[in-house]
Amino acid sequence: MKTAEQRLNEALQYCVTQGLKLTTLRQTILTILYEQANPLSAYDILRILKLTHPKAEAMTVYRILNFLEQNHLIHRITSCNTYAACDMLMHEHHAQLLLCERCGYAEEIEIKQLESAVQTTLKQYHFKASAKPTEIFGICEGCQATAN
């Protein structure tokens, strides 16, 4: 597991290659996401941000989350209205997320065969999918172990 600091360093490198500016507040919000195992809502992020930035406002958080999402640094989990930091910054991908229905755990995975099967099939339907992540819901390993 990479530390939040290592992930932030990767993000900074990624931003250099993409010509993006990662302001201090953008870095702070990214770090908040890197430090949490589970995806967070904008409200959760604001609550954590307020511990160090008492004057932070919801609008600012939304604006920054929007920027981070547009630039693929984070993924928005549509069904839960939460955000997860991207784990595969260095290569282009369509995000696929495993989401635990019990504990909220999320993990970004890459099933290349799934992506190519989806793309091939979508062509037959003349359907152009948006960039929203593919969400796979279920029960994580940890929760399965404690289920019975």
Name the residue nearer to Zn ion (CB basis): 80 or 143: 143
What is the sign, positive or negative, of the torsion defined by CA atoms of 105, 106, 109, 114?
A: positive
Give least dist CB 24 to Zn ion, A: 23
Name the residue nearer to Zn ion (CB basis): 50 or 119: 119
Name the residue nearer to Zn ion (CB basis): 20 or 140: 140
Q: Which of 37, 56, 35 is nearest to 46 (CA)?
A: 56
Name the residue nearer to Zn ion (CB basis): 60 or 71: 71
**DSSP characters over 81-116:** TEEEE-S-TTS----EEEEETTT--EEEE--HHHHH
> 87 near 4, Cβ under 8 Å?
no
**Under the rule (CB under 5 A), what is the footprint of Zn ion?**
86, 88, 95, 100, 102-103, 105, 140, 143
Give least dist CB 128 to Zn ion, A: 20
Give least dist CB 87 to Zn ion, A: 6
Distance CA 66, CA 71 (A): 9
C-alpha distances (whole Å) from 22 to each of 18, 19, 81, 134 are 11, 10, 23, 27
Give least dist CB 95 to Zn ion, A: 4
Name the residue nearer to Zn ion (CB basis): 30 or 56: 30
Give least dist CB 129 to Zn ion, A: 16
